[in-house]
Chain A
Amino acid sequence: MNAELLFDAALILLLLALAAATLHTRKLYTAIVLFIVFGLMLALTWARLGAVDLALAEAAIGAGLIGVMLLAAFGRSGPEAATRAPPAVLAASVLLCSLLLVLFAQGVWPLANNSAPVPELVNSHLAASGVSHPVTAVLLNFRAWDTLLELVVLLLALLGVRQLHSPNMNLPAAWPLLQAWSRLLAPLSIVIGGYLLWRGSHAPGGAFQAGAVLAAGAIVLRLAGLLPPLRWNWWPMRACVLGGVALFMTIAAAGYWLGSGWLDYPPGLGKTLITLIEIAATVSIAVSLSLLVVGDTREITP
């Protein structure tokens, strides 16, 4: 039997088993841990399919940060109540899921014959985009509108979480070992985040992955008690959060008024503008994600 086929089959079975176990386990904490493992396996699957960008994003955001967010939410929530969904809800969700599955199969099936027209289209216009990595070219040039909206979604999520006024986590006094370890990890996260950002123009990497790695460094430092509370009413914090969307919108609007159109970069300036947007977006994503996990929700009126 082919060794690669064996590995892939084991990976697929493990993914399905982990998904089922995550949904059907009794305890919330077990479900969260299984979900994190599921994210890591999913990252491995993306890497196996050759989608390294997605694998990096899934490992950093899907498994890492969402796992931390779920654990933080679990720590803030009270004792769980065992609830069972009524049969009508179950039937409705089964119906909805099967409809979605049909839609999904219809969307994915053409890809099986390698007949998708998009990759060739992207590669033929790659020279005009200003970057040499096709994924970055799609994200920040051909479909920049989607990336702008993703940043807006992240901003809305942060504002929504702030409206909820969730109580602060009671952080216990950090052990010296954790402090020493976070002192070692934080510079590493800056180096790796910077490397991912720099790499994004010509190889897998980019703003979201870099931002997630930077946020992880900040969160570890905050949990170890080495960073002061991340306060929303400190204006540089808000400026960092809003910077990504603001710069993106400014460039888009400037292109609309002065140049050829909304989010259409002038020829020759593509690389500079994309780099600027990537840097601002990385800072914005890093600060937003850190605030989502360890932000101080208390309003301190001046």
Chain B
Amino acid sequence: MSEPAVWLYWSSWPFLLGGVFFFLAGTIGLLRFPDAYSRLHAVTKADTLGLGLLVLGLCLRSESWQAVAQMLLVWLLVMASGATACQLLARYQRESDTDSAVSRPRAEPFHNER
């Protein structure tokens, strides 16, 4: 490998490790967080930042500009679909929360008596 290629190869490691960290953190958040909103928060971090860092790291290692462009396009598409899906899921959750609060106020076992 030539000198700049070696330099690029080693400089990709922080990005790849950062991506792995965000994916791990997102997965743990998905499993451990209490409600839908904070789970969505955790998962979308993995989708956008984790995948972005992985793509950046892999771009530094890739052989051709075509591969770089393809990976960046994939990242853009996943980021857009993740953001949209997150908004839709959060909105669905909020509507079902308000629906259940309006239609059956005493259904919850520990609901405060007013």
Contact A175 B80 (CB under 8 A): no
12 contacting pairs across A/B (C-beta < 8 A): A175-B88, A175-B91, A177-B84, A177-B88, A177-B91, A178-B84, A178-B88, A181-B80, A181-B81, A181-B84, A184-B80, A188-B77
Number of interface residues of B (CB under 8 A): 7
Q: A130 to chain B: closest CB distance in Å?
A: 29
**Residues from 68 to 96 in B contacting A, C-beta threshold 8 Å:** 77, 80-81, 84, 87-88, 91
Number of A-B contacts (CB under 8 A): 13
Give me the interface of B with A, judged by CB distance under 8 Å.
77, 80-81, 84, 87-88, 91
Nearest A residue to B84, CB-CB = A181
Nearest CB of chain A from residue B48's CB, rounded to whole Å: 16
Chain B interface mostly helix, strand, loop or mixed? helix
Number of interface residues of A (CB under 8 A): 6
Residues of A within 8 A of B88 (CB): 175, 177-178
**How many angstroms from the CA of A184 to the CA of B80 in the assembled complex?**
10
What does the 1/0 interface line of A163-183 toward B look like (CB < 8 Å)? 000000000000101100100
Residues of A close to B80: CB separation below 8 A: 181, 184
Closest-by-CB residue of A relative to B85 is A181
How distant is A17 from chain B, measured CB to nearest CB, in Å?
15
Whole-angstrom CA separation of A181 from B81 in the bound complex:
8
**Closest A residue by C-beta to B77:** A188
Give bound CA distance, A181 to B88, whole Å. Answer: 11
Rounded to whole angstroms, the CA-CA distance of A184 and B91 in the bound complex is 20
- Bound-state CA distance A113–B80 (Å) is 45
Chain A residue numbers with a CB within 8 Å of B84 are: 177-178, 181
CA distance A207 to B80 in the complex (A): 27
Cβ < 8 Å to B, chain A residues 160-210: 175, 177-178, 181, 184, 188
